[in-house]
Structure 1
Amino acid sequence: MILLTPPTGDIGHRVLGRLLDAGTHVRVIARDPFKLSMDNRIDVIQGSMSDADTIAQALPGVTRVFWLPPGDPSLPSARAAYRGVSQAFCDALPGSEVTRVVSISALGRGWPKPAGLVTATLEVDDMIARTGVHLRALTCASLMDNFARQIEPIRATGMFYQPTPGDKKLPHVAKSDVARIAADLLLDTGWTDVQELPLLGPEDLSFDEMAVILSEFLGRPVKAVKMSMPQFEEMMRGLGASEGMAQAYVEMMTAKNEGIDTLDMTASRRTTPTTFREWCDQEFRALIGEI
């Protein structure tokens, strides 16, 4: 049995779909089961992934787990949102039948400064690894799909906003590639040990270059606008982030600006082939149609 949580998150629901397409029965933890489609191949445990009793109900018979804390921005800190949410799961792993875990975290192992959400997700990987299970931690570059949050300003003003210099090249990966790799690992029972798999996308792009691609795709000018870090922090608070989480976002973006995503550029890019142009055609086109 495979346990997947959260099943309604943007990556989780993609992984769930791939597992069901493969004919696999899946158990999920969901706060609101009514958000899931009715499918007799899905065994739903209602509750929170941070709750020890819920974890105790979910783990019997499970040998493989997809683990991705949702990063609730209302929690007081990144550690609370990632380590805190994962503690009950990690406590339960040594006495369970689970042998393999696939997690989603971020590039940045070895970064010498606080990096907010990145630091917290890597600490979760360490927590899971210490339980003795086999682990594949998918350490992701920035997600192309984050542009979905900027559809309204792009359509209304032809601009999107980032706390990053417009000409700085960074790796970007599509969630569809991340979900495909996660599902493949969950279906494969042959791998062992603990490894990080950096997912870098096919190329490094600056936000100015991405703006050019968006302009071509939409047929009108789109511009990348650099925000200051204080402006970015204020924006995150306005979107509902706690003081601690807003600061964690600032630490993460500061680290990205300083090069945290380029610490490990040796990974093969063939496993994450979706280009930003392809993502625009496959994902952004549908999102634009919803506004």
Structure 2
Amino acid sequence: MIVITAPTGNIGRHLLPLLLESAPAHDEEVRVVVRDPARLPGAVRARVEVITGSHGDAGVVDRAFEGADAVFWLVPPDASLNPKDAYCGFTRPAAKALAAHGVGHVVGVSALGRGTPLADRAGLVTASLAMDDLIADTGVAYRALANPSFFENLLEDADSIREKGVFTDAADADRRAPLVAVADIAAVAAGLLLERSWTGRDSVPVLGPQDLSPNDLARIMTEQLGHPVRYERQAPDELYTTLVGYGLNEAFARGVVDMKRAKDEGLDTGVARTADTASRITFEQWCAQTLKPAVLS
């Protein structure tokens, strides 16, 4: 039995079809934890066991993990909380349930940066790494998917790209760093969940096919969208003020700013890209398949 949390999220909606396609050959059943089962496609609901509720709730994860062999764990960050509570507080009931039910394997969505000088001052990433420790300390075999920033983050700028030809972030315009498509993260997660010969604890970097700077992204978006796109760098203090103005918890907003500052100082660049850590989908492909339809809609 494989349990999937956040099955309708950015990664989960790619992961679930991969598992359902391969699960029969591996003699696996799939169970999902979802707040609103209506968000699952009808064909999917017919093929999975559904546990309704939040996977941050002790009663829900106790039911979900009973009889489970493996769990895909993803925390949906709650911007109304401070980073520690948003990650570790949310995960603590699950950690207890993993131990209570003797779950053997967990694949978690985490971040790059462990072991770097920036790891303890990287805001949301620091909280995510602490979450990894909490899960691994239960004694399960654990693989943390160590991810850089996602291509999909740019979808938040789709309106601005359409209307003004502008996207923003806090990074230096020429700083190259890894970026990845969520579909590639889902593919790595599916492989680990289905082939569980691994033991102990480790990180699995998913780095995308190449490092790109904001200026590189602007150039590629210009080519793919057929109109000029440029990058505007946002000062950290301005970003913080904007986030708080949107209603984010002040500590969470500071966690976002600290994360972006750490990334700009090289947090994500400490792992070499190899055949094992690179992934498939290029930014050009992602723009054509995902960003362009969103911008033109």
Query: Which TM-score applies when normalising by structure 1?
Result: 0.95
Distance 2:273 2:289 in 1: 27
Quote the offset at 1:269 in angstroms. 5.8
SS at match of 2:146: strand
1:5–1:259 distance in 2 versus 1, CA, 3 Å: same
**Cα-to-partner distance string for 1:210-247 (whole Å, 9 max, x where unaligned):** 10000011111100000100111122223332111100
What is the match of residue 20 of structure 1? 20
Distance 1:269 1:259 in 2: 21
Once the two structures are superposed, the pairs formed by residues 158-173 of structure 1 within 5 Å of their partners are 158-173=165-180
Q: Which is further off, 38-47 or 142-151?
A: 38-47
SS at match of 2:106: strand
SS at match of 1:61: coil
What is the match of residue 281 of structure 1? 288
**Cα-to-partner distance string for 1:146-172 (whole Å, 9 max, x where unaligned):** 111110000000000111111111111
Distance 1:237 1:25 in 2: 43
Once the two structures are superposed, the pairs formed by residues 175-186 of structure 1 within 5 Å of their partners are 175-186=182-193
**Cα-to-partner distance string for 1:51-74 (whole Å, 9 max, x where unaligned):** 111111111111100000001112
**Cα-to-partner distance string for 1:92-125 (whole Å, 9 max, x where unaligned):** 2222131010001000102334111101111111
Distance 1:163 1:28 in 2: 36
Distance 2:277 2:251 in 1: 37
Which residue identity lines up with residue 215 of structure 2 in the other structure?
D
Percent identity reads: 40
What is the match of residue 85 of structure 2? 80
Distance 2:277 2:73 in 1: 24
What is the match of residue 202 of structure 1? 209
Aligned residue pairs, count:
289
Which residue identity lines up with residue 104 of structure 1 in the other structure?
V
Counterpart check, 1:106 vs 2:106: no
SS at match of 2:3: strand
Once the two structures are superposed, the pairs formed by residues 109-258 of structure 1 within 5 Å of their partners are 109-112=114-117, 113-258=120-265
Which residue identity lines up with residue 43 of structure 1 in the other structure?
E
What is the match of residue 36 of structure 2? 32
Which residue identity lines up with residue 7 of structure 2 in the other structure?
P
Distance 1:42 1:266 in 2: 36
Distance 1:284 1:25 in 2: 34
* Contact 2:225–2:292 (8 Å) recurs in 1: no
SS at match of 1:45: strand
Q: CA RMSD in A?
A: 1.5
1:269–1:218 distance in 2 versus 1, CA, 3 Å: farther
SS at match of 2:121: coil
What is the match of residue 8 of structure 2? 8
1:111–1:240 distance in 2 versus 1, CA, 3 Å: farther
Gaps of at least 5 residues in structure 1 are none
Which residue identity lines up with residue 187 of structure 2 in the other structure?
R
* Contact 2:206–2:277 (8 Å) recurs in 1: no
Quote the offset at 1:264 in angstroms. 2.1
* Contact 2:33–2:52 (8 Å) recurs in 1: yes
* Contact 2:99–2:139 (8 Å) recurs in 1: yes
Distance 1:40 1:187 in 2: 21
Gaps of at least 5 residues in structure 2 are none
Quote the offset at 1:270 in angstroms. 6.0
Quote the offset at 1:282 in angstroms. 2.2
SS at match of 2:173: coil
Q: Which is further off, 260-269 or 53-62?
A: 260-269
Quote the offset at 1:40 in angstroms. 2.0
Distance 1:238 1:5 in 2: 30
2:71 to 65, 68, 81: 65
Distance 1:25 1:148 in 2: 33
**Cα-to-partner distance string for 1:63-86 (whole Å, 9 max, x where unaligned):** 1000000011122x1111110110
1:266–1:201 distance in 2 versus 1, CA, 3 Å: closer
Distance 1:277 1:217 in 2: 7
